[in-house]
Amino acid sequence: LGGIDGIVSSAGIDCLKPFAQMRYEDWHNTLEVNLSGPFNLCLAALPFMQREPQGTIVHIASGAALRPLAGRTAYCASKAGLVMFAKTLAVDLAPYSIRVNAICPGIIDTPLFRQSFEGAEDPEAALEQVLDRYLIRRIGQPEDIANAA
């Protein structure tokens, strides 16, 4: 087997609660998966990646890193942190010829996206409300992100 010359961090969880209803555990769990997970992945892979002539790290962040969303304080904060982590890691790892990028997609048809409609009184109306925020009124597919990476 060869070394590691590329990794993708794409795991994520959401906490769909208004801030006033959040508990510390909600905050901690979201940041643990969405921010500490990518940190630990990079930390574990780095010694192997440094042995290669070049490498690539891609973090799947979210459009929520760039704009606030009601009821998603922990998620937005964790994804914004992931974007800055990618930027600073890119600077730190440039001497090793390791590129680091973050992709910030909008809505993507994933279990996490579908979960956000579970408690809605009218899931179809809730979906329409989300689609109204996007000019192309289309839910992205996981393949769209894979092709961007």
Q: Which of 39, 104, 41, 44 is nearest to 75 (CA)?
A: 104
Please name which of 142, 136, 116 lies closest in space to residue 127, comparing C-alpha atoms.
Answer: 116
Q: Residue-wise over 70-89: b if at least 16 C-beta within 10 A, else e? A: eebbbbbbbbbbbbebbeeb
CA distance 42 to 131: 34
Both tokens assigned to 75:
């998620």
DSSP bridge pairs for 138? none
Nearest-angstrom CA–CA distance, 37 and 56: 17
Annotation says 75 is catalytic: yes
Candidates 24, 75, 96, 134; catalytic one: 75
Q: Catalytic residue positions? A: 75
